[in-house]
Chain A
């Protein structure tokens, strides 16, 4: 929204002295806005912390096959005894099968992050589609869509997700779908509001007068303008999705043979780790979930404040 507007003014300013080819111009403009975005983002210390934590976890998840090896979740060749305390060999101790918990937490990051990302992308994609079309077409279509959105909005998300995960076969895809189809309504509402705001601007009318169809207007003018909002929303939803994945896995609704942080917590509960004082079984996955969710939230908030200066008054 604001970025492109600023971009347009600059572009007009630059256009006078030198005649540049449109594509190069567009690239230059994009580079400039990315640089400006980063300059502003840099001033948010919490955002930087979140970004750092995220990069660290992403690096761990990507290099997990090298760091711990894919046989870390192997129960038959588990290296230690069941529920060993943290030691030099096993910095986080071992789980009830005698597996190395540090390795499992690193390995679990892959699933938790993957599910979080995919579920958030699914959720935001649904939300954006419905938001943009509802905002653009208005009329009875918008009414119907928004009532459906309202219906999903008032449904308790977790209950709906549990119901979905129960009736569908137990797999990662189920969890992704269950989270994706239950968390989109807020995005849809936000995007619709933004679409309505964008569509009142004069250049949309101009585009329409020049013969731009529905598809052209939505994809070329509305979408780029709501994109920043969508991005910020995605980052925020990822943290919610990671928490939801952990919750569902903890409730035993995930694929039991997949290692994720939530599943580790569920394992710990089943082994009776809470009442027997085996804190090292619970703390690492719990802290990992908290840190990653916090990191995504911090990033999301920072992005939101950069893109929407009105939010950033306190800063």
Chain B
């Protein structure tokens, strides 16, 4: 880069004697840093892009590590998105409005008692090694999950209710159920090729990351993967819905979000989603940029404050050490009444989120629920203080509330050290609850899983991405999801176990009528809200950005105000159209950079003068 040359020049003229060399170097380093980080010193962003062989490559900046490339183990957003791209599912969701559309299955029907489901498998889908994808592959996938515990790790909840899965012909798949199950057209399970996977011994350990390219039948084929470095996929020219427009799709790792944004500015990547999203400051500065489009859409995530309900295992044994005062519903509700959701939206998310209400985000309008006015826990710190008084948490002489054990109440709040929003909201909680006389200790950890699974927390920042079918996010609060013994790991999110909620859950799962089912789901949300163990503070937006000189168009999901990264389906990357490599002179240079460079030059020049004078002075001294 040309800054290096400038640095060299400065050094030659400056000739710093010993101990000042460091300062000079620091000044120069600051200059390089400003220039390098904050951007386009090399004005022509690389185009999308015809590498030498004319391949069109779409590069996406990601930060999340891949937990596993095996569809039987992967649960993280990036890994499951990759599986969407490389394997077909029986059904898919329409990108416009999330309704169920054909995937590997072209049509499906159920017997009158709704216990036998027959799927017709398409005959125009081929595995990338040339073999035909058949109903036999699907039957084998489901049977494996039903019989092998290791294969049920990620998606076991879908097959828990299956009695028998058979493939009477290559195009016909029959699933027999024990009880009716409403998620039969939303089985989010990647179908894998039997002839490849039947050679696997231990499904709980096999990560599918040794033999490339990985045999699949999705719109892309995984060709290469290096952990925390890149994931490379090439387009599947024979994909039945039509080949993707880009020849190659690369997920490249940028563990630092600032670096990812700079890479977008320079054109090294075409798309940045951020983890979990771009910060308000980054979004605002990218908005003014030429050739960059910022997509700010309602997200599919909720962001909640989970309260430890006195964690227990299925066998009734107590786990962890949640604060006993939180078992009182008045205390939980009082705490949430002292949380100013509006301030969180305005200050922390700076408008890039929607105020929290029910458990399921408003984007899924059929399941979205709002508390009634007399049920709603509105922001009211005075009322919260009264409720705490009633619950028996009286203030002592120092103004701190004391529990039944006579000790001042201090809650441990588990927070993700990697999520800036957790820390920011944690600061607010400390002040809001501090005014009530309740102490808060933020426990920000890189790995919150260990204390979380052990139930060693009082409150915790929590959040899930919700699928068009809400079954999964509802299932994680049932008693059935609790760990069997304190030593086991359950699917439970927050150790909630409520009889009424469980009854409603079973009822909705067996309800095939969409309106009636939605009604029951709303009742579940209402119950969850009243319990006060899952307090939804906000629904964060998906704030992401891409280069319009590299991507001409891309599908958002839902079509109106939808997100691009982490969709339920492969729509965004499959539909992305490369931009023509026209000329795009980039003369925009942000003021900050100019100021930074000027400041750097001034500092170095000043230092040069100072040193020159000093040299003279020391020379005089020596004489």
Give bound CA distance, A46 to B618, whole Å: 12
Give bound CA distance, A78 to B346, whole Å: 13
Nearest Cβ on chain B to A70's Cβ, whole angstroms? 13
Q: Which of B19-53 contact A (CB under 8 A)?
A: 19, 23, 26, 34, 37-38
A192 within 8 A of B: no
Q: Which of A73-91 contact B (CB under 8 A)?
A: 74-76, 78, 82-83
Using Cβ atoms and an 8 Å threshold, which residues of chain B touch A279? 34, 38, 592, 595-596
Nearest Cβ on chain B to A268's Cβ, whole angstroms? 9
Using Cβ atoms and an 8 Å threshold, which residues of chain B touch A82? 280-281, 347, 350
Known: A75-B431, A97-B424, A272-B278. A277 touches B257 (CB 8 A): no
Do A274 and B258 have beta carbons less than 8 Å apart?
yes
A270 within 8 A of B: yes
Classify chain A: how many residues form its interface, as a range. Answer: 20 to 34
Give bound CA distance, A74 to B621, whole Å: 52
Nearest Cβ on chain B to A111's Cβ, whole angstroms? 16
Give bound CA distance, A82 to B346, whole Å: 10
Q: Is the interface of B mostly helix, strand, loop or mixed?
A: helix
Give bound CA distance, A279 to B594, whole Å: 11
B454 within 8 A of A: no
Contact bitstring A275-291, B, C-beta under 8 A = 1, else 0? 11111000000000010
A269 within 8 A of B: yes
Give bound CA distance, A96 to B257, whole Å: 16
Using Cβ atoms and an 8 Å threshold, which residues of chain B touch A257? 426-427, 430, 442
B584 within 8 A of A: no
Classify chain B: how many residues form its interface, as a range. Answer: 35 or more
Nearest Cβ on chain A to B275's Cβ, whole angstroms? 12
Name the CB-closest residue of A to B262.
A275
Do B432 and A274 have beta carbons less than 8 Å apart?
no
B282 within 8 A of A: yes
A98 within 8 A of B: yes
B506 within 8 A of A: no
Do B281 and A271 have beta carbons less than 8 Å apart?
yes
Known: A75-B431, A76-B343. A272 touches B19 (CB 8 A): no
Do A271 and B443 have beta carbons less than 8 Å apart?
no
Known: A74-B431, A272-B261, A277-B38. A98 touches B279 (CB 8 A): no
Do A75 and B428 have beta carbons less than 8 Å apart?
yes
Q: Which of B270-288 contact A (CB under 8 A)?
A: 278-282, 284-286
A189 within 8 A of B: no
Name the CB-closest residue of B to A97.
B347
Do B281 and A276 have beta carbons less than 8 Å apart?
yes
Give bound CA distance, A76 to B342, whole Å: 12
B602 within 8 A of A: no
Nearest Cβ on chain A to B523's Cβ, whole angstroms? 35
Known: A257-B442, A294-B23. 12 other contacts (CB 8 A): A74-B431, A75-B428, A75-B431, A82-B280, A98-B347, A252-B417, A270-B279, A271-B280, A271-B420, A275-B259, A276-B282, A277-B592
The 4 A-B residue pairs with the shortest CB-CB distance in the complex, in nearest-first order = A277-B592, A270-B420, A276-B285, A275-B261
Chain B residues within 8 Å of A, Cβ to Cβ: 19, 23, 26, 34, 37-38, 256-259, 261-262, 265, 278-282, 284-286, 343, 347, 350, 415, 417, 420, 423-424, 426-428, 430-432, 442-444, 446, 590-593, 595-596, 621
Chain A residues within 8 Å of B, Cβ to Cβ: 46, 74-76, 78, 82-83, 96-98, 166, 170, 252, 256-257, 269-279, 290, 294, 301, 315
